[in-house]
Amino acid sequence: MNKYLLIFLLALPLAAQDGRTIVAESQKRARADSQRYEGTLEVNDAKRKVSTKRWVYERLGSAGESKAVLRFTAPAEVKGVALLILNHPDRASDQWMWTPAVARERRIALQDRRTRFFGTDFSFEDLEERDVDRSTYKTLGEENGAWKIEGTPKPEAKSQYTRVLIWIRKDNYVATQIECYAKDVLIRRIRYTEIEKVQNIWTARNVEVHDLQRDSRTTMKLEKLQYNLSLAAESFTLQALRREQ
Amino acid sequence: MLLRLITWPYVRKHLLRCTLTTAGIVLGVAVFVGMHTANQSVLYAFNRTVDKIAGTTQLQVTAGETGFPEDVLERVQGHPGVGVAAPVIEATVQTGLQGEGNLLVLGVDMTGDRNLRDYELEKADEAIIDDPLVFLAQPDSVIVSEKFCQRNGLKLNDWLTMRTMEGPKQFTIRGVMQGDGLASAYGGNLAIMDIYAAQMVFGRGRTFDRIDLSVAEGQQVDRVQKSLQAMLGPGLQVDPPSSRGQQFEAMAKIYSMSANISSLFALFIGLFLIYNTFSIAVTQRRGEIGILRALGATQGQVKRLFLLESGIAGLLGSLAGLGFGLLIARGMARYISDFMGEVYGAAQRAEEISADPRLLLTALALGVATSLIAGWIPARNAAAVDPVKALQKGRVQVITEGENRTRRWTALALLALAILCVFFGHRPLFFYSGYLLSVLAALLLTPALCSWLASLLRPFMKLLRPVEGALAADSILQSPRRTSGTVAALSLSVALVIGLGGISKASYETILDWADAALNPDLFVSSSQSVTQRSFRFPASLGAEIQAVGGIDEIQAVRTARIVHEGIPVMLVAGDVQRLAKRVKMRVVEGDPRTMYQLVERGQGVVISDNFALLRHVHKGDVLHIMSPSGRLDLPILGVVVDYSDQQGTILMDRHLFVKHWKDDTINVFRVYLKPGYTQQAVRQELLNRFGQRTRFFVLTNGEIRAFILRITDQWFGLTYVQIFVAVLVAILGIVNTLTVSISDRKRELGVLQAVGGLRSQVRHTIWMEALAIGTLGLLIGYALGAVNLYYILEVTRRDIAGMRLNYRYPFEIALTLIPVMLGAALLSGAGPAEAAVRGSLVEALEYE
């Protein structure tokens, strides 16, 4: 998941050349042919009630044209539910959800991408990978050893956000924080912590999303993280979703 | 001033009579307001439900009741003008909870639907409210309204049983909706579930009922509607949610027509009651008028005084009618809701009565106008009173020969015009003008007919009671103005009863004849307890399994669905037409039965019902443009048959054609014919044993279907019986009014009769016989006018209400039943005035006038 959020940076604007360079470099350093991890999500709602979900995440391909499958493993009532994401460099991703109890896949429409991702504080859009050229950006300065970059999605990106602010560490090009705005209102803040090197790729193992409007927080932990492992392309299809219910 | 000095004392003195006078207006306005308000309230409730369910939906994509394939959704979502588009399935299910009736289940895709609808799930468990994943992952999830929970003692995570295609199935309440929005739709009897789970449990295959959408920011709704319609083609309709109300309105139109006819009759009756009373009042107040004129009052002032009186009577009667109408509207609304639910499966309980100010004003204006029209001639006569003659005592009730002649000639002219209108009856204006003119002609002829009939009756009355009979007959003959108004009102009531009773009888006969011919299978296998409920459907494969049950000779799979044809919902019946035709011998109105079914089977056309043809003015050879989800089908009409499966008409097509163009092979009903030697009960039991537990499965016998149809027909005519009751009630009020007036008018005459030795019993009998004579005259003229009225009502039914070609059969049984009812009512009505006549002071009576 953090991969996606990192890649989200790459969707940022290119108003200033140095900003784009930073983002491109960040993307380059995070690049891997495939990825797998077991994730744990904890949602702390406004009433501080906690709910937990677990899933296995697999991704094949590089940023911008990757395919990913996210399969829930717990709790029992959502076990087997899966999400297939096909990212495209030039347009919004295609997403399908598989529900084993009704043995049906449903397409997540583009219009629905601003809605929250299954009760977490992420939106479906936050799961997408986008080409850097679908946004413009400028560097605003430096803060605590990180570049502060402002990104503005281009109209054709059809983003729910009007601008985002990203902080990228100068020493390893890893994003430490993203703030997402809609019409100048800050709606989400994402923080990356427990940053460590896994198979030579700097990766945040802990991601916290704060929905400021709902005052709800989602913490995601990445376990058993592996890069560049061998994954079959045919596992990233609707047929595979149906088969592996 | 004049009102206070002249009118008020008179009203106070004759309060009962004045009250009775306005009764006709009260009832006429009440029926008009009651029926229309009830209709509007049901429609309003339906629209409110549509609005609440629609949320922020601006447009809806539909294809009638049949739904359309899922892939339409992606096309709609891909349209640049569309902001949010969410699929919906609607179904009504039984919960088994006592007193709850049906639950409207809305199948939605929660991933996107909350952009359109606010579920107000404040009370639900947070994880479930915010986590559509749990909701989607568990197909037994439902969200219900707080009202529903409170009524049934349910709470979160409780189970709720619903009868699905998989039999009774337990669902888990995973959310509770609050508020006055969506949660209050359908009286709170609303449940939300995942759309794909809904497809499964309602046997919908891969179809959606509709797509709700809102347009993208900055887009204009009407432009998006047009371009989306162009993109989707004519097989799918793109309309605002309010258009569903318009279709519902079309279905409810038949009640409005019926209400208009009854109200018009009631107002006509009221008109004659007022005319009658005012005519008598003018006579009785000749002295007052004479004094007024002698004191310098102008003719205009006298005329205005009487017109004002009639206007006030009309206003008071109308106001009372408005109140009474609103009072009865609630009961009528419930009745109409139930009927619509039974017939169309589109029930909507009207929780509150919504009175349209325009309707109330129209009713008020109608009531006052009727009263003013009724008061016009008496007011004119009052103004024409000669002050000198007025101060002399004497009778003025005799209609002059000149006046009589004018009326007769006018009546004959109107009659000639009415007959002329019959020849141009295909045009609504001429047809309805003819109807009105014939009624007016009959009413104008009433005084002449009264005199003629009374002179015919006189010998019989004299034979019964030589003195009293003669006196009673002479009273009628000498006071035609007093009597003819009542007789006219009475005959109108009788004519209304004959018309409504006649159509009721003809409808029963016609429907039963059709049921005998068309509904001849031994058993009907349905997925719903009611054959009109089409929320659930069987898979086509079930047919072979049913056919394999012992004792079954043949099964016929039928798919029925309501589609919108030129803005009106009609019934589409898809079946194996050749096999249906072999078993069912429907009366063919147009077309060759030897070839038309073969051509229909080949998909080369359709057969339509007679009522469809009549209501839409189409014939064999015309081409119907039927909209299917795959596009427009241009199919010629190959034949017209008598079929009353639906009040709005039926299109019969071959099932293969339906499957091909609607991409839907599901079945509503299997018609089952048994082999000789097998009983309905035994095979029904076997079918239930095999399939009853596995799926939602109902087996109805031929008798049960016929009973259902009769029940529907009873329900339809239920309100007609209310109208008949009102007609009889108004008639009785008319007799009471006339006799009360008659006694007051003849107080002196009756006093003289007693003074010269007449016994009280003779006076009593005289009045009784007069009452009976008025009743008889009303009956005789009413029978004749009823014959004409029945013709017109049958025509209205044929051309504008139901398209039913009903046989003209005079309802002699009803006519006979009316004799004791009307004469008994007349006698009872005469009892009070008779007693008042014999118990009054003789001296006072002799001093009267």
**d(Cα A75, Cα A57) in Å, to the nearest integer?**
16
How much is the pLDDT for B399? Answer: 46
Cα Rg, chain A, nearest whole Å: 17
Report residue B190 as tokens: 């609303």
pLDDT band at B386; cut points 50, 70, 90:
confident
C-alpha–C-alpha distance, residues B640 and B592, integer Å: 9
Higher pLDDT, A10 or B290: B290
% pLDDT > 70, chain B: 84
pLDDT tens column, B395-417:
444 445 556 678 888 888 998 99
| Counted domains in chain A | 1
**Nearest-CB residue to B138 (from A49, A97, A101):** A101
Q: Do residue A119 and residue B194 have CB atoms under 8 angstroms apart?
A: no
- Selecting from A104, A108, A115 the residue whose C-beta is nearest the C-beta of B196 gives A104
Q: CB distance from B814 to chain A under 8 Å?
A: no
Helix axis angle, B760-796 to B466-478, nearest 10°: 50
User: Which residues of chain B neighbour A72 with C-beta distances below 8 Å?
Assistant: 133, 137
Residue B759: band (very low, low, confident or very high) from pLDDT cuts 50, 70, 90: confident
For CA atoms B423, B424, B425, B431, the dihedral sign is: negative
Chain A nearest-CA distance from B691, in A, is 22
For B670-690, the pLDDT digits (tens) are: 999 999 999 999 999 999 888
- List chain A residues with CB under 8 Å of B89: none
Helix (H) / strand (E) containing B345: none
Look at residue B162 in the predicted model and tell me its pLDDT. 85
Considering only CB atoms, A118 lies closest to which of B85, B112, B132, namely B132
Render chain A in DSSP notation, one character per residue: -HHHHHHHHHTS--SSHHHHHHHHHHHHHH--SEEEEEEEEEEE-TT--EEEEEEEEEEES-TTS-EEEEEEEESGGGTT-EEEEE--SSSPPEEEEEETTTTEEEEE-GGGGGSBSTTSS-BGGGG----GGGEEEEEEEEETTEEEEEEEE-GGG--S-SEEEEEEETTT--EEEEEEEETTEEEEEEEEEEEEEETTEEEEEEEEEEETTTTEEEEEEEEEEEES----GGGSSHHHHHHT-
Cβ–Cβ of B133/A118 closer than 8 Å?
A: yes
Could you read off the pLDDT of B188-244 as tens digits, one per residue? 788 889 898 888 888 888 889 899 988 888 889 999 999 999 998 888 889 888 776
Q: Do A97 and B109 touch (CB under 8 A)?
A: no
Mean pLDDT in chain B? 81
B83 has a chain A CB within 8 A of its CB: yes
Q: Please give the DSSP secondary-structure letter assigned to residue B181.
A: T
Q: Which of residues 122-141 of B touch A (CB under 8 A)?
A: 126-127, 130-134, 136-139
CATH number of the domain where residue A131 is located: 2.50.20.10
Sign of CA dihedral A224, A228, A230, A233: positive
Chain A interface disruption, residue of B118, B133, B174, B214, most A CBs within 10 A:
B133
**A77, B137: Cβ pair inside 8 Å?**
yes
Neighbour-count burial for B375-397, b at 16+ CB within 10 Å, e otherwise: bbbbbebbbebeeeebeeeeebb
CA distance A221 to chain B (A): 19
Beta bridge partners of A165: A150, A179
Residue B216: exposed, middle, or buried by beta-carbon count in 10 A (0-12, 13-18, 19+)?
middle
- Contact between residue B822 and residue B775 where contact means Cβ atoms under 8 Å apart: yes
What's the distance, CA B237 to chain centroid? 29
Structure token pair of residue B692: 């009853």
Task: Please give the single-letter amino acid code of residue A150.
Answer: E
CB contact, 8 Å: B111 with chain A?
A: yes
Distance from CA of B526 to the nearest CA of A (A): 25
CA distance linking residue B629 with residue B636, whole number of Å: 19
pLDDT above 50 for B68: yes
Query: How far apart are alpha carbons B54 and B42 in whole angstroms?
Result: 18
CA distance A49 to chain B (A): 8
Checking if the pLDDT of B845 tops 60, the result is no
With beta carbons under 8 A apart, name residues in chain A contacting B74: 107, 109
Cβ proximity of B130 and B161 under 8 Å: no
Q: How confident is the model at residue B44 (pLDDT cuts 50, 70, 90)?
A: confident
User: Counting Cβ atoms within 10 Å, is residue B593 exposed (0-12), middle (13-18) or buried (19+)?
Assistant: middle
Q: Coil, helix or strand for B158?
A: coil
* CA distance between the termini of chain B: 25
Checking if the pLDDT of B545 tops 70, the result is yes
Residue of B nearest to A44 (CA): B127
Q: Do A108 and B111 touch (CB under 8 A)?
A: yes
Place of tokens 């008061």: B375
A102, A114, A122, A215, best to mutate vs chain B, most B CBs in 10 Å: A102
For B101-138, the pLDDT digits (tens) are 678 888 888 776 666 666 656 544 444 455 667 778 88
Taking contacts as CB-CB distances below 8 angstroms, the residues of chain A near B124 are none
CA B121/CA B134 separation, integer angstroms: 15
Subunit contact A111:B196, Cβ cutoff 8 A: no
Q: For residue A45, which residues of chain B lie inside 8 Å, CB to CB?
A: 126-127, 130
Determine the pLDDT at residue B122. 52
Asked if residue B490 lies in contact with residue B782, where contact means CB atoms within 8 angstroms, the answer is yes
How far, in Å, are A188, B341, B412 from residue B433 at the CA level?
A: 72, 35, 15
Contacts of B132 in chain A (CB under 8 A): 118-119
Which of A48, A99, A117, A245 best tests the B interface by mutation, with the highest count of B CBs <10 A? A99
CA distance A72 to A92: 23
Reading the block at residue B416, the tokens are 């000639």
B130 vs chain A: nearest CA distance in angstroms? 5
- Angstrom CA distances, B365 to B220, B318, B321, stand at 41, 8, 12
For residue B113, give how far its alpha carbon lies from the nearest alpha carbon of chain A (Å).
9
Contacts of B126 in chain A (CB under 8 A): 45, 47, 49, 51
- pLDDT reported for residue B394: 47
User: Are the CB atoms for B512 and B505 separated by under 8 Å?
Assistant: no
Average pLDDT over residues B727-743: 70
Say which residue, B331 or B523, is predicted with more confidence.
Answer: B523
Is B318 in contact with B29 (CB distance < 8 Å)? yes
Residue B167 near residue B693, CB atoms below 8 Å: yes
This model of the complex carries an ipTM of 0.76
The tokens for B571 are 């019934």
pLDDT at B6 (0 to 100): 65
Per-residue confidence (pLDDT) for residue B19, from 0 to 100: 73
Tokens at residue B216, please? 């993208």
Q: Which tens digit of pLDDT belongs to each residue from B248-266?
A: 666 666 666 666 776 777 7
Question: Tokens representing B246?
Answer: 């318009």
Q: In what side-by-side order are the strands of the sheet with B190-194?
A: B159-164, B167-177, B141-145, B190-194, B102-108, B82-94, B210-215, B59-62, B237-239
Inter-chain Cβ pairs, chain A and chain B, closer than 8 A: 83
What whole-number distance in Å separates Cα of residue B385 and Cα of residue B306?
A: 13
What pLDDT, on the 0 to 100 scale, is given for residue B385?
74
Amino acid at B10: Y
Among B74, B111, B130, beta carbon nearest to A112: B111
pLDDT under 70 in chain A at which residues? Answer: 1-17, 63, 110-112, 130-131, 244-245
Cross-chain Cβ contact A101/B139 below 8 Å: yes
